Amino acid sequence: MKITISEILKHPDIGKDVEINGWVRTKRGNRNITFIALNDGSTIHNIQVVLDMAEFEEEMVRNVTTGSCIKVNGILSSSPGKEQQVELHANKIHIYGTADPDSYPLQKKGHSLEFLREIAHLRPRTNTFGAVLRIRHAMSYAIHKYFNDHGFYYLHTPIITASDCEGAGEMFRVTTLDPKNPPLLEDGSVNFNEDFFGRETSLTVSGQLEGELAALALSNIYTFGPTFRAENSNTPRHLAEFWMIEPEMAFYDIHDNMDLAEDFLGYLIRYAMDHCGEDLRFLCNMYDKELMDRLNFTINSKYERITYSQAVDILTQSGEKFEYPVSWGVDLQTEHERFLVERHYKKPVMVTNYPRDIKAFYMKQNDDGKTVRGLDVLFPKIGEIIGGSQREEDYHKLCQRITELSLPEKDLWWYLETRRFGTAPHSGFGLGFERLLLFITGMGNIRDVIPFPRFPKNANF
RNA sequence: UCCUCAGUAGCUCAGUUGGUUAGAGCAUCUGGCUGUUAACCAGAGGGUCCAAGGUUCGAGUCCUUGCUGAGGAGCCA
């Protein structure tokens, strides 16, 4: 195995002959000595490579510029400099690839995140995106580890779906028909019988319905995959293509659901602090001075659990002037959620028992005939990080709701059969992966926590 | 999609009530410097002032439209 800069800095073996590969961040020095800061992405830290210019051709060293990629052989030595403990005294350098200083867009100095979005193909080479991408990896791993350790099975739900009743937003259509000349029916509409799947299909907006099928067989499952929403959303919290984690558990009621959500989020934040300390400290210093405090505070807080009705009472009695007035029956607006989380409770809040008219058909109806067992988990700074519910397991109540909302019951026959055959109480929720990363990294825009963001008018790279 | 703000050098930005040849820092190039730390010192090159119209003797600056970006809102994870 090749040795990485991360490993060398972690276990420096002074006097050892090593070979490292990486991209040049900066070069400085004079006629006698040159210093190269080299980074291979294995850690936020660079290793300092020292060149005694008497041993190297000036022309070769001239081509080692910011952005170029090199291989260095040399002796690991303790460094007399203040900024690092070890450095590499080079005796051989090979240039894999030069980077023309006139056209290479990344400089030694900081760039705006907006500019880096325009060069998303190169931004992984920056400290910021190196840190974000390493944290993103660690969080992916932690999610699988958490569920595996808790007896959940990873379920792969379809990405292409013919179900347009998932109710989570506008969908991207998937087709192989000729856009200029599609087959038509007599009434002039497109004949999707001739399409690839023989019917109209789209990219999934949620794996939940299929997740429920598996939970009612394996008891505890989760999905973790790409999700697509064709909403024209232009905000720092929305993407057209994002990754979602959706656990679904048989025999869990809404309280079990909340227990899991709180334990799961706490585990992930703790995992990041335990395993991504250096990257988090960098992001804290550069972008968000309160990041560490907020993460610490969150894992040490018990989440507040309130009902929608309680939330409405708190908001109406707060004396606060809201742009959107609060009354029982209307959905909570962002300003209301922020008030609850950031000003009233000052910690994460879980809201349940929403009016049934503002929530999806599959949520379990309460006995009061007015509310359903939906669940939103609200976080400081980013708002809704989780949406979920206990599901309606009663066949007749579910059918009744589908009829009331005029949903196409015939397209849901497979979903309804789980309620006809051995139905069971069950619950689940969806966690937006990039929303989690926003919270954990302290980044302000969701387009900066995914390598290649997709949003309205942009599918570059 | 709506509201607000912005767009000037490769990057980050300044540019006065509309007035001569549009500036700075960094980056780049050249030279200097015996261990630097986003090195430092000196010099040089570098501009479709987002685009198209308009007002004016005169527009980077004012007006209209469009494009792009950011923040807020809606939708939601």
Nucleotide nearest to A436 (CA to C1'): B77
Q: For A265, how many CA atoms within 13 A lie in the half-sphere containing its CB?
A: 32
pLDDT digits (tens, 9 = 90+) for A200-255: 999 999 999 999 999 999 999 999 999 999 999 999 999 999 999 999 999 999 99
Nucleotide nearest to A335 (CA to C1'): B73
CA of A129 to C1' of B70 (A): 20
* Distance (Å, whole) CA A5 – CA A72: 12
Could you tell me which residues come within 8 angstroms of residue A254 by beta carbon, excluding any fewer than 6 positions away?
A: A352, A364, A373, A375, A389, A390, A427
CA of A321 to C1' of B4 (A): 21
B strand bases under 7 Å from protein CB: 1-2, 10-13, 25-29, 32-40, 68-77
Nucleotide nearest to A446 (CA to C1'): B77
CA of A233 to C1' of B24 (A): 38
Beta bridge partners of A71: A21, A94
CA of A8 to C1' of B31 (A): 38
Task: Check if the beta carbon of residue A223 is closer than 8 Å to that of residue A157.
Answer: yes
What's the pLDDT score for residue A348?
95
Nucleotide nearest to A227 (CA to C1'): B77
* Distance (Å, whole) CA A400 – CA A408: 12
What's the pLDDT score for residue A166?
60
Does the pLDDT at position A168 exceed 70? no
Return the structure tokens found at A353: 């028992």
Please give the backbone phi and psi of residue A325, each rounded to the nearest 5 degrees, phi first: -65, 150
Return the structure tokens found at A333: 């607006």
Return the structure tokens found at A232: 């024209």
* Distance (Å, whole) CA A226 – CA A221: 17
Whether the model pTM is above 0.90: yes
Amino acid occupying residue A33: I
Does the pLDDT at position A362 exceed 80? yes
